[in-house]
Amino acid sequence: MHLPHLLAPITINGMTIKNRAVMPPMGTGYGSADGTVSDRLLVYLARRAQGGTGLIITEVCAVDTRGKGFPNEIGAWKDELIPSLARIPEALHRYGAKAALQLHHAGRETFAAAALGMPEAPSAIPSAILGQPCEAMSLERIASVIDAFAAAAVRARAAGFDAVELHGAHGYLLNQFLSPFSNQRDDCYGGSEENRMRFVLEVVAAVRRTVGPDFPVWIRVSADELIKGGYDLAFMQRLAPRLVAAGVDAIHCSVGVYSTPGNLAIAGMDTEPGFNLLRARALKSVVDVPVIGVGRVNDPRLADEAIGRGDADMISFGRQHLADPDFINKAAAGSYDDIRWCVACNQGCIERLSFEMKSATCSFNPECGREYQGPAPKAEQPQRVWVIGAGPAGLAAAMALAARGHRVEVFERQGEPGGQLIPASKPPHKAVFMDWVRWSLRQLEYRSVPIHCGHTVGADELKEQRPAAVILACGALPSAPSIPGLDLKIVADARDVLMGKIAPAAPAVVLGAGYVGMETADFLLALRIPVTVLEMLPTPPVTKLTAHGYWLHKRIKDGGGRLILGAEVLAIEATGVRYRQAQGDQFEPAALVVTAMGATSENSLEAVLKDLVIPYRRVGDAVSPRRVLEAIHEGHRAGLEV
């Protein structure tokens, strides 16, 4: 049988799951402000169950209003929420999936606005990431929260859930009690290892006592915090058997907390797929209950191999469920070419939720989070629509147009489709970006959409052919401020360097420390070219708080690269770059100067279309240079609306 291990059923405390694929909890921001389940969240979850996954664990569900991590977190803190919660298992059961509710208390990892007051924690130590002040919990408050977990589990069972998961990972309250990084109490809940384990073990025991022996209960843990002052894997190996003795039926093995360098709890594209399975195997060696492995696993074949060799009993696929809700059914059918792979960019999901305070989606799947709106209507009268530009925005528009039944043609002035994703895929760890391009081309080929490469559309052709509508996805062209010496032979655009059009030379100076500049520096350092990056701003435009940003900064530093901030470029000369800092004028030697200082939208056809009165939409970089998320989503939306 194809995928014999992943597709085999498994039973956890009387609950039989049809396969070993798990959708783990992932924050969406789709819940309602009053803690109820919205239609948007319900349809989103049901869509993943429809795709074939055996077990779906909801995103965090607050057991107490003071433990909410964000304002619209769903809740189980009162009986009145049971009817709302009941909608989830009812919807998931229709597709044969089991439903587990993740019970959560954020502790110090929240804001006063979400917790409706001062957040609480084992000790009054603010979150290392959020900086939000918090207060130490009293013994009475600890007892109250233990009761809240138990009562929420009873409500989950009453709502029809098949199981509950206790969130003991990622720096939330249960994790906070376990860790010397966040727990500096000197009473029976802090200090010694035994005391730091006490709260979690009491929560597990209370939940088990209230739901009875025959209801599946498990816990998600960070097997190793991977942070200075935190606990390690050996500690969790000592705790895991005690969790089982206290009443858990399985262990969900994650890693890290939100302040772990590189954000390994939600590992980005710079981390190897399956990097955390070794920790699942380590926990599996000390317990006799199922262990769920997780950690940047997107390929069912990798999951099947991991289960087969004994790394874990089940595998969680997180963001892959966002990129393609049908990937389990597709893999079961052997249709791997039809799977839209998650690239672990984190732009649309965790970073959008955490840094932009917007509901989650997927950069490469514009339908993620919009399932409740229903499928796009078919075109009442199919039209001949031209898409000019085969970058991410153009390809997304073409797919949406073709799915609605329009007669679509795509024109690309370059020799191959992909647009900015082609050079973007060249730096280290970014080749996965082309997976989406190849997937898109297969989708368009399936719908017989022609793509004319090396074809520049001009005014005469538009006047002669007169398509019914045009999507302008022409992208953007490199731009730079007026700097003396930009025309010298040692100067090259970052994209030309990444595409191999310019031979690397040492030493190199990169002008601009945005993502393009930093990734080009990373690319050159991988070729052993010494690099200095000059940035005019006093702080790095690429933050170390994101997973990719952290690893970029680390690789550049470890590779001997230099990042000079507050550097105003004065002139480029034949042997280097002259720049000014607060302390005075400086000179940086260079045999290659790479410009990565921005881009300008290419819209030369807009005036032609206006003159010809041909309806058109600008999308992607043709509107203004932006990320792949905005380009794909904007192109998709235009394809739905034309």
**Helix, strand, coil share of the chain (percent; to 5):** 35, 20, 45
Mean pLDDT value of segment 529-535: 98
* Known active-site residue 95: no
Q: How far is CA 392 from CA 262, 343, 438, 603, 631, in A?
A: 27, 14, 11, 17, 6
- Please state the three-class secondary structure of 169-195 as a single string: CECCHHHHHHCCCCCCCCCCCCCCHHH
Instruction: Report the C-alpha gap between 319 and 381 in whole angstroms.
Output: 37
Query: What DSSP state is assigned to residue 257?
Result: B
For residue 533, which of 560, 509, 515 has the smallest C-alpha distance? 509
- 373-389 residue pLDDT tens: 998 889 989 999 999 99
Query: What DSSP state is assigned to residue 377?
Result: P
pLDDT tops 90 at residue 258: no
- Element (DSSP H or E) covering residue 241: helix 233-246
pLDDT tops 90 at residue 79: yes
CB atoms under 10 Å from CB of 478, counted, come to 17
Structure-block tokens of residue 335: 């249709």
pLDDT tops 80 at residue 587: yes
Share of the chain above pLDDT 70, in %: 100
Q: Cβ(124)–Cβ(107) under 8 Å?
A: no
pLDDT at 403: 97
pLDDT at 267: 95
pLDDT at 556: 98
For residue 199, which of 189, 191, 209 has the smallest C-alpha distance? 189
Catalytic residue among 44, 172, 515, 579: 172
How open is the CA angle 59-552-346, to the nearest 5 degrees?
A: 20
pLDDT tops 80 at residue 1: no
- Which residues have a Cβ under 8 Å from the Cβ of 362 and sit 6 or more positions away? 319, 322, 323, 342, 348, 349, 368, 369
Instruction: Report the C-alpha gap between 566 and 581 in whole angstroms.
Output: 6
pLDDT tops 80 at residue 456: yes
pLDDT at 479: 86
Kindly list the domain boundaries of the chain, sorted by start residue.
10-370, 377-478+600-641, 491-597
pLDDT at 4: 98
Supply φ then ψ for residue 121, to 5 degrees: -160, 170
Q: How far is CA 161 from CA 129, 157, 166, 200, in A?
A: 33, 5, 14, 22
Mean pLDDT value of segment 353-362: 93
- 458-468 residue pLDDT tens: 999 999 999 99
Looking at domain 377-478+600-641, which of 3.40.50.720, 3.40.50.12500, 1.20.120.790, 1.10.8.870 is its CATH number?
Answer: 3.40.50.720
Q: What stretches of 51-192 show up as alpha helix (H) in DSSP?
A: 82-93, 112-115, 139-158, 173-178
Q: Cβ(155)–Cβ(143) under 8 Å?
A: no
Per the document, the length of the chain is 642
pLDDT at 197: 98
Q: What is the dihedral of CA 619, 624, 626, 631, to 10 degrees?
A: 0
For 302, what's the count of Cα atoms within 13 Å in the CB-facing half-sphere? 16
pLDDT tops 90 at residue 626: no
Q: Cβ(517)–Cβ(423) under 8 Å?
A: no
Instruction: Report the C-alpha gap between 542 and 636 in whole angstroms.
Output: 27
pLDDT at 392: 98
How open is the CA angle 134-124-116, to the nearest 5 degrees?
A: 15
For residue 60, which of 350, 438, 290 has the smallest C-alpha distance? 350
Q: What stretches of 356-413 show up as alpha helix (H) in DSSP?
A: 392-403
CB atoms under 10 Å from CB of 365, counted, come to 21
Write down the mean pLDDT value for the chain.
Answer: 96
pLDDT tops 90 at residue 128: no
pLDDT tops 90 at residue 529: yes
CB atoms under 10 Å from CB of 370, counted, come to 17
Structure-block tokens of residue 436: 């989406």
Q: Please tell us whether the domain made up of 491-597 is placed in CATH 3.50.50.60.
A: yes
CB atoms under 10 Å from CB of 157, counted, come to 19
Instruction: Report the C-alpha gap between 232 and 30 in whole angstroms.
Output: 34
Query: What would the CATH number be for the domain defined by 10-370?
Result: 3.20.20.70
Instruction: Report the C-alpha gap between 201 and 239 in whole angstroms.
Output: 9
Query: What DSSP state is assigned to residue 226?
Result: -
Strands 98-104 and 163-168: parallel
pLDDT tops 90 at residue 260: yes
Structure-block tokens of residue 290: 């199922």
Supply φ then ψ for residue 590, to 5 degrees: -155, 140
Instruction: Report the C-alpha gap between 24 and 29 in whole angstroms.
Output: 15
pLDDT at 429: 96
- 145-160 residue pLDDT tens: 999 999 999 999 999 9
Q: What is the dihedral of CA 224, 225, 228, 234, to 10 degrees?
A: -20
Q: Three-state SS for 150?
A: helix
Instruction: Report the C-alpha gap between 207 and 5 in whole angstroms.
Output: 31
